[in-house]
Amino acid sequence: MQLAVNIVVLASIYALICCGYVLIYRVSRVLSLAHGELMMLGAYGLYATASLFGGHPVLAVAAAGTLAFCVGIVVYAALMWRMTGESVLAAVLATIALGILLRGAMILVFGTQTQYPLRDLGWSNASLAVGSARISAVGLALVLATALTYGALFAFLRGTRWGIRMRAAGQNPLLAAQRGIGLHGVYALAWGLATFTGGMAGMLIACDAGLEGTLVVIGLKAFPAALVGGLDSLAGALVGSLVVSAAEVLLIHYVDPLLSDVVPFVVLLAMLAVRPWGLFGTREELDRV
């Protein structure tokens, strides 16, 4: 039972991170390997606003969320718009370089100490009981946040005009431009939403376990989950996260705890060997460099 709870919590973490990967890839066909660093930036944002808005934790959280969204738009406006139309490799390398830049900047500004934003917010991470298992309050918040996020995203993408335009731009950018859809606006929105959800994931993880360098590693581990589900499918991201987290938790429990960092990548390799476009992804023309 505890295992099941652990799987669900880990899956929620991965899923929340994955929707960032999927959003950006689906809309602009760019794989953002800076997502881990952007997550950490979001968490540091919370740390900053928590100390800034000392007595108002809700305000701090809201401010941090808005900040994360704006950072995403800035990243697009400053760098990624120049990479539209360039080769796949160039865009991915640009995100990698951006990640490196952000990582260095964060160390310079915030130092390497582990931070505990939850304390600064004035909340405590109680341990709750679910049947015979235990779950932390933040863990529960994670699961709820993921569920809410996915629900909202599905509704947005299927129901609203802007959501439909985002999907359209992702499928056929040229036609979208010919139909009056502003591509730059759509891409910026995707980046903003992705950074917002990623930042939220970072904040929650930081509240649960503390804010330190390993946050970026979690971001990178979530990436196989996105691929296993299919890089352009949100439903796939959910399923992929469950698969990867189940594999990870079970193998850690029954085989070797040190395997945790490598299991997602083994699952990824297996998936690439069998079905490269993932469980729910569209079978696209696998691009040339």
Q: Please give the structure tokens belonging to residue 17.
A: 């991170």
Question: Site mask, another protein, residues 59-98, x = CB under 8 A?
Answer: --------------------x--xx--x-xxx-xxx-xxx
Q: Please, is 50 exposed, middle or buried when counting C-beta atoms within 10 Å of its C-beta (0-12, 13-18, 19+)?
A: buried
Residue of the chain from 126, 213, 262, 283 that contacts another protein (CB under 8 A):
262
Interaction between residue 1 and another protein (CB under 8 A): no
**Which residue from 262, 213, 225 is spatially nearest to 99, judged by alpha carbons?**
213
Interaction between residue 101 and another protein (CB under 8 A): yes
Question: Site mask, another protein, residues 199-238, x = CB under 8 A?
Answer: -------------------------x--x-----------
DSSP letters, 206-269, are: HHHH-BSTHHHHHHHHHHHHHHHH-TT-HHHHHHHHHHHHHHHHHHHHHT-GGGGGTHHHHHHH
**One-letter identity of residue 284:** E
Task: Report the distance separating Cα 211 and Cα 229, nearest Å.
Answer: 28
Question: Site mask, another protein, residues 107-126, x = CB under 8 A?
Answer: xx------------------
Interaction between residue 155 and another protein (CB under 8 A): no
**Which residue from 10, 30, 35 is spatially nearest to 20, judged by alpha carbons?**
35
| Residues numbered 241-260 forming contacts with another protein, rule: CB under 8 A | 258
The least CB distance from residue 268 to another protein, in Å, is 5
The least CB distance from residue 171 to another protein, in Å, is 5
Cβ distance to another protein smaller for residue 163 or 210: 163
Cβ distance to another protein smaller for residue 45 or 139: 45
Interaction between residue 283 and another protein (CB under 8 A): no
Interaction between residue 279 and another protein (CB under 8 A): no
3-state SS assignment for residue 97: helix
Q: Which stretch binds another protein (CB under 8 A): 58-66, 177-185, 191-199, 202-210?
A: 177-185
Secondary structure element (H or E) that encloses residue 130, with its range:
strand 127-130
Residue of the chain from 177, 213, 253, 283 that contacts another protein (CB under 8 A):
177
Task: Report the distance separating Cα 145 and Cα 19, nearest Å.
Answer: 12
| Residues numbered 17-36 forming contacts with another protein, rule: CB under 8 A | 31
How many residues bind another protein (CB under 8 A)? The answer is: 57
Residue of the chain from 1, 253, 276, 283 that contacts another protein (CB under 8 A):
276
Helix residue spans in the chain (DSSP H):
2-28, 35-52, 57-78, 88-110, 117-121, 137-159, 161-171, 173-178, 183-209, 214-229, 234-254, 263-274
Residue 70 neighbours by CB under 8 Å, 6+ apart = 192
Q: Please give the structure tokens belonging to residue 223.
A: 């990436």
Give contact residues for another protein (rule: CB under 8 A).
31, 79, 82-83, 86, 88-90, 92-94, 96-105, 107-108, 161, 164-165, 167-168, 171-172, 174-183, 224, 227, 258, 261-262, 265-266, 268-269, 272-273, 276, 282, 286-289
